[in-house]
């Protein structure tokens, strides 16, 4: 549970104090003290219930503890392996540098992966064109068009 019995005592005193404040003018002293005692006991027990509810709400479930352990160990080990045959690795690197879609092991690949890897082409945006070869009339028309004249 969260906190100590002092929290319960504090809530009990708060309940007893509120009871005394609201009943001081309308009840005799003995009735007021008896009701404040009952209020103290009630608030003391309610504080235990509230503390248990808070402990239940704020306690992380057991699943989160397992995920936290997995998250802490994530990225601590690197499990990459290179091919055992260095010639195959060199062929793969050469194929990448040359921009070829076919790889040395392409004949052994499944037909599904051939269609996917053969169709891929990296993004090649168009180059910017300079206005060096434009005539002054064309440039003036473009300027008029942009300014709305």
Q: Which has the higher per-residue pLDDT, 71 or 143? A: 143
Residue 43 is assigned to a structural domain of this protein: yes
Residue 38 is assigned to a structural domain of this protein: yes
18 pLDDT higher than 90: yes
Mean pLDDT score across all residues of the chain:
77
Residue 36 is assigned to a structural domain of this protein: yes
Q: Which has the higher per-residue pLDDT, 1 or 95? A: 95
Residue 95 is assigned to a structural domain of this protein: no
Phi, psi angles (nearest 5°) of residue 136: -60, -30
pLDDT band at 59 (very low <50, low <70, confident <90, very high): confident
pLDDT in the model for residue 28: 92
Tell me the pLDDT tens digit for each residue of 103-136.
444 444 444 444 455 677 777 777 776 667 778 8
Residue 92 is assigned to a structural domain of this protein: no
Please compute the mean of the pLDDT values over residues 83-111 and round it to a whole number: 66
Residue 45 is assigned to a structural domain of this protein: yes
**Selection from 25-29, 89-93, 96-100 with the highest mean pLDDT:** 25-29
Q: How many structural domains is the chain composed of?
A: 1
Residue 72 CA to residue 16 CA, distance in Å, equals 49
pLDDT band at 92 (very low <50, low <70, confident <90, very high): confident
Residue 65 CA to residue 63 CA, distance in Å, equals 5
Find the domain containing 55 and state its range. 25-60
pLDDT in the model for residue 110: 46
15 pLDDT higher than 50: yes
Contact call for residues 54 and 2 (beta carbons, < 8 A) = yes
**Token digits for 108?**
């052994």
40 pLDDT higher than 90: yes
Contact call for residues 2 and 51 (beta carbons, < 8 A) = yes
Residue 107 is assigned to a structural domain of this protein: no
Name which of 81, 85, 105 is nearest 95 in CA terms. 105
Residue 112 CA to residue 96 CA, distance in Å, equals 20
């Amino acid at each position: 549970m969260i906190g100590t019995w002092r929290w319960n005592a504090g809530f009990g005193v708060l309940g007893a104090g509120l009871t005394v404040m609201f009943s001081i003018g309308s009840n005799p002293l003995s009735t007021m003290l008896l009701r404040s005692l009952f209020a103290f006991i009630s608030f003391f027990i309610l504080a235990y219930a509230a503390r248990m509810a808070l402990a239940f709400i704020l306690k992380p479930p057991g699943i989160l503890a397992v995920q936290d352990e997995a998250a802490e160990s994530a990225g601590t080990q690197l499990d990459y392996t290179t091919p055992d045959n260095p010639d195959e690795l060199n062929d793969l690197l050469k194929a990448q540098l040359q921009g070829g879609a076919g790889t040395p092991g392409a004949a052994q690949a499944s037909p599904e992966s051939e269609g996917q890897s053969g169709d891929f082409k990296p993004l090649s945006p168009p180059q910017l064109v300079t206005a060096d070869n434009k005539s002054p009339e064309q440039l003036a028309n473009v300027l008029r068009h942009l300014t709305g004249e």
